[in-house]
Structure 1
Amino acid sequence: MIQDGNGLRFSADELARRLVGTGARSGPLYRQLSDSLAELIERGELPPGSALPPERALSEALTVSRTTVVAAYQALREKGQLERRQGSGTRVAPDRNRETVSGLAGDHAASQFLSGPLATIDFATAALPSLDLVADVAAGLTRDDYLRLTSTHHGYHLRGLPALRERIARWYSDAGTATAPEDILITSGAQQALELVARGCLQPGDGVIVEQPTYRGALEAFARTGSRLRTVRIDERGLDVAALERLLTNESPRLVYVQAAAHNPTGVVLADDRRQRLAKLLDQHEVVLVDDTSLAGTAFDGRTTPAALGTHERLITIGSMSKLFWGGLRLGWIRAVPQVVSRFARVRGITDLGSSLVAQEVALRLLDHRATAETERRTALPVGLRTLTELLGRHLPDWSWQDPQAGASLWVRLPHGDATHFAQIALRYGVALLPGAVFSADGSTDHHTRLPYALPPATLTQGVTRLAQAWTDYLNRTTVDVTLTSAVT
């Protein structure tokens, strides 16, 4: 996506990624496409003046005929949502009745949650199901508990419920990293923690180094600050710390974002020797290091590393209740030195006066059951992984992957083509999945896709079976394209 003199201009591949999970699931293809584009326009993700790609380019990205795209564009022009401008192609028409905020335009991690459940098999999200103990603990709160919670304070705890901050601090300290309640800021999930870090640490033009691939929500948070993103690859042992060190020596980035405890989307756990070398970089380079430990507690070998990199004045650790317990709690935290916590609290106070005290009270009690939760995840996740990989081996034997060590998703490499185009075919077979490009700062991982395995076996079976059918269709289409191209040349 680039900015031209009249508005945003979207490439065909970028628009194809935004279209995943939108629109109708039945009817003529041109109508499905026009409905999907209309949905993006109405949500503000394609703001007025945005330039859409040419029909031929979009048809190739979506693996449909050019006639389908022409008909979809024409249907939206007839509804007044698109217009054809001489010399500038097809653009989203102005809408005097709709308030538009250009800053909202864009593909983002929340897209799959905006329109409710998909009328299909959802492989686009990798959220873990809630543990039963969440309901058990929440149901244990009594009227006296609520009275105590509501009568002792006005309800606004910008830094978080004191008892919860103290409990999280004690957990870090018990794990070997001395922590005080003043080092903890409770947030409404890890995503808000990332937004606070980005707004509190970065200015337009600042350099940020991220892993390749990485968590897409982090990419979005940093991009919104106008930062310049650079990447360092990961392998089966995690972040290539030697490559990071060379980049830090040659450049002067403001911030480095890593996931040492467990990596999303690959499930890799950073090797101990690399972890030690990474921690030492803070003493050698003036850089802020952000360690996102949202997946801590899902490691298959039972290792829990809440603060794997120790403590430092420029180290910021992000934690979350979402992966281990339940995303619906919307509870996360930042661990940093008190001065940094105070800065983030001031930034947070501009838009948010604190997270739900009821959710924090539930979280406080859930932390007493952390070992039980980790055991449940450690038992269930490898079973789901084994089910998924057996299905892939049976139905899609040419797909490849490195077995994860944690988390709830498998990072799969396609043997041919790219996932942005394949995702469109998969959707027609009733499976929504994300192309790997959305987990990359430069889109270079589009030969991968992420598949969740914390799903019921029946859902995994049906989903992989449909993916196999879609893959056969995709290969037939690309073979035809290659044959035609060869004949022309």
Structure 2
Amino acid sequence: MDRITTDQLTRMLVGTGTPTGPLYRRLSEGLAELIDRGELPPGAVLPPERALAVALTMSRTTVVAAYQELQAGGLVERRRGSGTRVRTHARHTVSSRELAGDHAASQFLDGPPATIDFMTAALPSLGIVADVAASLTRDDYLQLTTTHHGYHLKGLPSLRERIASWYGGSDDILITAGAQQALELVGRGCLQPGDRVIVEDPTYRGALDAFARTGSRLCTVALDSAGLDVDALEKLLVTEAPRLVYVQASGHNPTGVVMTADRRRRLTRLLDRYDFILVDDTSLAGTAFAPTPSTLGTHERLLTIGSLSKVFWGGLRLGWIRGAPQTVARLAQVRGISDLGSSLVAQEVARRLFDHYEDAVAERRTTLPVQLRTLTGLLQQHLPDCTWQEPAAGASLWVRLPHGTATQWSQLAQRYGVALLPGAVFGSSDDHTRIPFTLPVETLRAGIERLSRVATEVVGYPTDAARVNP
């Protein structure tokens, strides 16, 4: 029997339901959505009404009304002394063991049910993407279709050569459908159930998803303004003997920290002293506000993950894994089980975009700090009790909230039309949230103004009637 904890359910509910209407109905529709997806499986026991009401900052009568509506719809059954559980014949499609209610892809299923999306830290596309894509001629397509049979597990040879030369090293390249697929391949190819994996605290939520699917046991190491605490990591290498260590040295999601040169050197030296695989996710490297190395170097147990999603456009779905040839060959075999390769057309566009990579980085380096200052100015004006550490990369700000939990903030924010991620989904304590700063200024301002109203509610907890149609 699956017993869903209050913390689990409150995180799963982020981004579900509808943004308007009576509060009990918003909650019931969110729960019904989770049941439909199979994320709340048949037989799962839901939290008690009172506990869920406290976590969601609503009255117990609201939760009771939501549960009753689900019962009337045949989705749950309620018995005195046994609580509320999902009915065994409730509609579902996929085993909940294959899903996590707060996984990184949740907000992309149907989009956040809010007018302002603070959940997604995606950057707008650069104009060069459309220019390059439109430049392909019929002859270019003929060259692709007549030269290649269309199946390249490792990727388009000319693109792999272009990326390898860009790094200036001899390591091999495996092209992937974005950095998320790269992480999944690393997890499937390098880990077995029970293996210990060390990640930063906090860390990229997509990495947590990928490693969790392998049955690995996660251990965290602290992160500060200089990056990963290498001394703390070495102690864990001795006591935990991990199979894999995952870092983001060139730009950290969600904090925006860039690891210092000294810590980079000390980190890579550990590879010669301890037996573990080091995975460096450089997806944010192209968004660094100052020049930063794109890799930690080369080593037979170092894998570098790269991506064009942040620099150019997320819709390219173009990433890669750089590593020793034998390791890349193994990961390509793993990839072949479910995917025979990415689109050659998209890879040809990506190959040509590499000719504009430095210009794209320069453009991001010019615009991102300006957009950051806009957000911090709005926070200082409307949420002066919030605190943060200035990021050195990325498109979002890691904000410490002054009162309550980020899960409470996210639930209340949704009632004001703002979709917000709680810090707990990044494996961190639930007192932070991530706010993107690349949205249009007016959208950003409206979102922060609405969050200032949330701050009042977190402190004051007014009645549900005041929250129905804020």
TM-score, normalised relative to structure 1? 0.92
CA contact (8 A) 1:426 1:471 kept: no
**Closer, same or farther in 2 for the Cα pair 1:382/1:280, shift >3 Å?**
same
**Aligned residue identity for 2:408:** H
CA contact (8 A) 2:13 2:30 kept: yes
Q: CA deviation at 1:100?
A: 3.0
Query: Is the aligned partner of 1:128 residue 2:123?
Result: yes
Question: What is the DSSP-based 3-state SS (H/G/I as helix, E as strand, rest coil) of the residue aligned with 2:397?
Answer: strand
Quick one: distance in 2 between partners of 1:85 and 1:320?
51
Q: CA deviation at 1:478?
A: 9.0
CA contact (8 A) 1:263 1:295 kept: yes
Alignment of 1:217-296 (within 5 A): 217-296=206-285
**Aligned residue identity for 2:9:** L
In the alignment, what sits opposite 1:486? Answer: none
Alignment of 1:121-200 (within 5 A): 121-173=116-168, 178-180=169-171, 183-200=172-189
Quick one: distance in 2 between partners of 1:40 and 1:300?
39
Query: Is the aligned partner of 1:457 residue 2:451?
Result: no
In the alignment, what sits opposite 2:467? Answer: none
Quick one: distance in 2 between partners of 1:36 and 1:224?
25
In the alignment, what sits opposite 1:369? Answer: 356
Quick one: distance in 1 between partners of 2:250 and 2:58?
42
In the alignment, what sits opposite 1:210? Answer: 199
In the alignment, what sits opposite 1:413? Answer: 400
**Aligned residue identity for 2:137:** T
Q: Deviation string for 1:171-209 (max 9, x for gaps)?
A: 000xxxx135xx100000000000000011111111000
Q: Deviation string for 1:303-330 (max 9, x for gaps)?
A: 3x221x2111110110001011111010
**Which of 75, 82, 86 is matched with 1:81 structurally?**
75
Quick one: distance in 2 between partners of 1:117 and 1:60?
23
CA contact (8 A) 1:10 1:50 kept: yes
Gaps of 5+ in 1: 1-5, 480-489
Quick one: distance in 2 between partners of 1:86 and 1:163?
66
Query: Is the aligned partner of 1:319 residue 2:306?
Result: yes
Alignment of 1:366-445 (within 5 A): 366-440=353-427, 444-445=428-429
**Closer, same or farther in 2 for the Cα pair 1:120/1:97, shift >3 Å?**
closer
Quick one: distance in 2 between partners of 1:86 and 1:155?
60
CA contact (8 A) 1:47 1:105 kept: no
Q: How many residues of Structure 1 are paired with residues of Structure 2 in the alignment? A: 463
In the alignment, what sits opposite 1:446? Answer: 430
Quick one: distance in 1 between partners of 2:195 and 2:75?
37
Greater Cα offset, 103-112 or 193-202: 103-112
Query: Is the aligned partner of 1:9 residue 2:9?
Result: no
Quick one: distance in 2 between partners of 1:129 and 1:9?
41
Task: Determine what percentage of the aligned residue pairs are the same residue.
Answer: 69
**Closer, same or farther in 2 for the Cα pair 1:68/1:145, shift >3 Å?**
same
Quick one: distance in 1 between partners of 2:444 and 2:393?
19
**Which of 311, 315, 337 is matched with 2:324 structurally?**
337
Q: Deviation string for 1:12-69 (max 9, x for gaps)?
A: 1221111111111111100110011111111121121211111111101110100000
In the alignment, what sits opposite 1:94? Answer: 88
Q: CA deviation at 1:97?
A: 5.8
Quick one: distance in 1 between partners of 2:26 and 2:453?
20
**Aligned residue identity for 1:387:** T
Greater Cα offset, 286-295 or 77-86: 77-86
CA contact (8 A) 1:302 1:374 kept: no
Question: What is the DSSP-based 3-state SS (H/G/I as helix, E as strand, rest coil) of the residue aligned with 1:41?
Answer: helix
Query: Is the aligned partner of 1:477 residue 2:461?
Result: yes
Question: What is the DSSP-based 3-state SS (H/G/I as helix, E as strand, rest coil) of the residue aligned with 1:9?
Answer: coil
Quick one: distance in 2 between partners of 1:96 and 1:16?
21
Quick one: distance in 1 between partners of 2:283 and 2:79?
47
In the alignment, what sits opposite 2:466? Answer: none
Q: CA RMSD in A?
A: 1.5
In the alignment, what sits opposite 2:294? Answer: 306
Quick one: distance in 1 between partners of 2:40 and 2:76?
11
Q: Deviation string for 1:224-262 (max 9, x for gaps)?
A: 111111100101111101110111122211100000011
**Closer, same or farther in 2 for the Cα pair 1:51/1:105, shift >3 Å?**
farther
Q: CA deviation at 1:455?
A: 1.0
Q: CA deviation at 1:87?
A: 4.8
**Which of 328, 332, 336 is matched with 2:315 structurally?**
328
**Closer, same or farther in 2 for the Cα pair 1:206/1:87, shift >3 Å?**
farther
Quick one: distance in 2 between partners of 1:263 and 1:312?
21
**Closer, same or farther in 2 for the Cα pair 1:473/1:197, shift >3 Å?**
same
CA contact (8 A) 1:46 1:105 kept: no
**Aligned residue identity for 2:397:** L
Q: Deviation string for 1:80-127 (max 9, x for gaps)?
A: 111125654211112376433233331200000001353320001101
